[in-house]
Amino acid sequence: MTVRSRIRLSVLALAMMLPVAALAETVTLRFVQTNDIDRMEEVKGRGGFARLAAVVNAEREQGPTFFVHSGDTLSPSLLSGIDKGAHIVAILNQMGVDAMTPGNHEFDFGKDNFHTRIGEATFPVLTSNIREPDGSQPPNTLDERVVEVGGVKIAFYGLTTEDTPMVSSPGDMQFLSSIETGKAKAKALRDAGADLVVAVVHTPLSVDIALVRAHAADLVLSGHDEHLMAFYDGKTVLTESGSQGDSIVVTRVDLDKQVKDGKTTVTWRPSFDIIDSATVTPDPKIAAVVKTYQDELDKQLKIEIGTTATPLDSRRATVRGEEAAIGNLFADAMRAAVGADVAITNGGGIRADREYPAGTVLTRADIFAELPFGNKTVKLKVTGATLLAALVNGFSQADQGAGRFPQVSGLTVDVDLSKPPRDRVLSVLVAGKPLDPAASYTLATNDFMAGGGDGYVMLRDAEPLVGPIDAQLMASQVIDYVAAQKAVSPKVEGRIQSKD
């Protein structure tokens, strides 16, 4: 036996005497995140599902990849105003989503539509803090999902902002505390052996930060605020990918798992890529699917309905902060359609964020772009006191650009936005006469507001004269209103007189 052979045998014998330990092996995981993407097509060479799909596919070619959707996708969009988000689910079904949590916009068309759309999904939808009225898990959704890659267990759970009943239309579905649910889920999943806990959430930044501080996940992949961010405090990751797929955050996690003397240790470190979708070539398969839907949409919506002789402005700051000519047009159409004394619609429901010069020929597409939520016009019998309370609510967050700002018809309102929120409404005229708190009036409004949305809780108990079952789409009423007149000329005329 040679000296070299004796040395080799000695090393082997020594190794056999040492405690058995599994050698650490680095597993690299990739998380491609999107959120707040309801626009299927690209705009000016950025965004849309085809470019997003290209990023997902490129990462999958590199190794284990999870495509994560942090919510807000079924609405609002032009085609969603017609098919209530069916095309979005069909597209996502072809992209291989690994985990999605619903955003508040998944409920814009009501509880039944949410169930229908989620029932069409072939990918996992996580609803850890959403429950049916009887406390059960919503159909076709999961409370959690655990996936194993290279001996590493990755556990997912999902959270949806609990103010969804205020800003959308989930009916009687329950939304539990995001923070408390997140902390409980993280503990349970870790106790069950998860090596990496991923929270796919659609929650405000304040909640996101609370989840991070509580270490309620290792990765918090969020939506809702539409920020573009990648944050790591040394313990927990927080990311968000802006909106519309314009940018995509890719989080790579290099994870080492080692078992020694029966004890498992897991260490990991993240790195981030923020990809501008303008830099990638659209995936041809998804691009073809999107084009099919666009062609169908064009056929249905590129129909001229009339001309506006005056300029219209639906920019966010306008419809959420002052009397707007387009708001007057929509409120007038609603009031005329149901024969009401007055009309109020929330500025946040006017969504296209654009300007129309005088002389613009309006199409069906324009109206559906402005009113994408599929809301219906209801007619309520209200007291003057209730009407006043509604207006007080409408102006209460005007300085914050809140969507509850009222666009009105049949009313003249004096407001002072420098005063405290509950003191801002100074006087109200109905058909030129002072509002009588004890009198009865008929009110045209949208079904979202009538159900208490945007803080209009005072309308919930109003007597319905035309309820949601019998009501018509706001967008259809506006289209009919413009088409009947052939030319409209709405303008700012002092319906809201502000002393700010």
**Side chain identity, residue 5:** S
In this prediction, residue 40 has a pLDDT band, given cuts at 50, 70 and 90, of: very high
CB 500 within 8 A of CB 416: yes
Q: What are phi and psi of 280, to 5 degrees?
A: -115, 155
pLDDT value, residue 243: 93
pTM (2 d.p.): 0.76
Does pLDDT of 180 surpass 70? yes
Does pLDDT of 186 surpass 80? yes
Does pLDDT of 70 surpass 60? yes
Does pLDDT of 102 surpass 90? yes
DSSP bridge partners of 383: 440
pLDDT value, residue 97: 98
Does pLDDT of 14 surpass 70? no
pLDDT value, residue 500: 64
pLDDT value, residue 3: 37
In this prediction, residue 434 has a pLDDT band, given cuts at 50, 70 and 90, of: very high
CB 215 within 8 A of CB 186: yes
Residues of the chain with CATH 3.90.780.10: 304-498
| Average pLDDT for the chain | 93
Q: What are phi and psi of 310, to 5 degrees?
A: -120, 155
Does pLDDT of 115 surpass 50? yes
pLDDT value, residue 16: 38
pLDDT in tens, 475-493: 989 999 999 999 999 999 9
CB 312 within 8 A of CB 488: no
Neighbours of 94 (CB within 10 A): 14
Does pLDDT of 307 surpass 70? yes
Does pLDDT of 42 surpass 50? yes
Residues of the chain with CATH 3.60.21.10: 19-294
| Highest CATH level, class, for 19-294 | alpha beta
User: What is the rounded average pLDDT of the residues 246-259?
Assistant: 95
User: What is the rounded average pLDDT of the residues 123-140?
Assistant: 98
CB 444 within 8 A of CB 334: yes
pLDDT value, residue 472: 84
CB 223 within 8 A of CB 159: no
Fold of 304-498: 5'-nucleotidase;  domain 2 (3.90.780)
